[in-house]
Structure 1
Amino acid sequence: MGIVEEAHNVKILGSGTRYIVLAHGFGTDQSVWKHLVPHLLDDFRVVLYDNMGAGTTNPDYFDFDRYSTLQGYAFDLLAILEELRVHSCIFLGHSVSAMIGTVASISRPDLFAKIIMLSASPR
């Protein structure tokens, strides 16, 4: 496991050939997907992670300047995909993570086959 995976509590579940990334909303962590994940395991490799400052992420990694904008979180998402060698994924983002996925896709549109926004935050 790499430093990015460790810092964000990355979990990869399932046996499918396609990747789906589930990104939680503000004030929650990856556990919000516990009822959806079992339905995806046969068809996808499910990537779960916690945004920095959520769940059990290490507070030593939190940088107020980096995370003062969504760009810092988007860089983290891209780093996770790079470390996992994900070349294309479906991204499902809830709340603020929908916007994080959108920001990340502007930098690397090739990594995102689809973006699903669930109750996306407007900013």
Structure 2
Amino acid sequence: MGVAAEAHNVKVLGSGTEYIVLGHGFGTDQSVWKHFVPYLVDDYRVVLYDNMGAGTTNPEYFDFERYSTLEGYASDLLAILEELQVESCIFVGHSVSGMIGAIASIARPDLFTKLVMVGASPR
């Protein structure tokens, strides 16, 4: 895996041919999905990652200017998908990740077949 995947603690699980990417909400990390992943791994390749500043992400990668807007987080999501060579995915975003996924999908609609927003925040 590349720099973005390493910086965001990316994990890819499962054996399916279609990708599903799970983005966690504010104040949590990818472990929030631990009870859902077992139901997905037989049918999908599941991508888990931490938004910068969450979980055990390296604080040296944090840039106050980059992460002063959600566009910085959306750029990270796109970088992860690019490194993993994901051509198409279903994105599930909880809380702030719902908006991160929306912004990323506007920038690169070709990468997203569906967006599922769980309690997405408006900003």
TM-score range, shorter chain: over 0.9
* Cα separation, 1, equivalents of 2:75 and 2:5: 13
* Cα separation, 1, equivalents of 2:116 and 2:17: 19
> What residue identity is the alignment partner of 1:98?
G
* Cα separation, 2, equivalents of 1:70 and 1:21: 17
* Cα separation, 2, equivalents of 1:111 and 1:17: 15
SS at match of 2:45: strand
SS at match of 1:19: strand
Q: Which residue of 2 aligns with 1:26?
A: 26
Q: Which residue of 2 aligns with 1:39?
A: 39
Q: Which residue of 1 aligns with 2:77?
A: 77
Q: Which residue of 1 aligns with 2:59?
A: 59
User: What is the TM-score with the length of structure 2 in the denominator?
Assistant: 0.99
Q: Which residue of 1 aligns with 2:122?
A: 122
Q: Which residue of 2 aligns with 1:5?
A: 5
* Cα separation, 2, equivalents of 1:7 and 1:79: 11
Aligned runs of 1:98-117 on 2, under 5 Å? 98-117=98-117
Q: Is there any run of 5+ residues in structure 2 with no aligned partner, and where?
A: none
Over the residues paired in the alignment, what is the CA RMSD in angstroms? 0.3
* Cα separation, 2, equivalents of 1:91 and 1:78: 12
* Cα separation, 1, equivalents of 2:111 and 2:91: 9
* Cα separation, 2, equivalents of 1:104 and 1:38: 26
User: What is the TM-score with the length of structure 1 in the denominator?
Assistant: 0.99
* Cα separation, 1, equivalents of 2:3 and 2:77: 13
* Cα separation, 2, equivalents of 1:81 and 1:16: 16
- Aligned residue pairs: how many? 123
* Cα separation, 1, equivalents of 2:4 and 2:36: 24
Q: 1:122, CA displacement in angstroms?
A: 1.1
Identity in percent: 79
* Cα separation, 2, equivalents of 1:118 and 1:10: 21
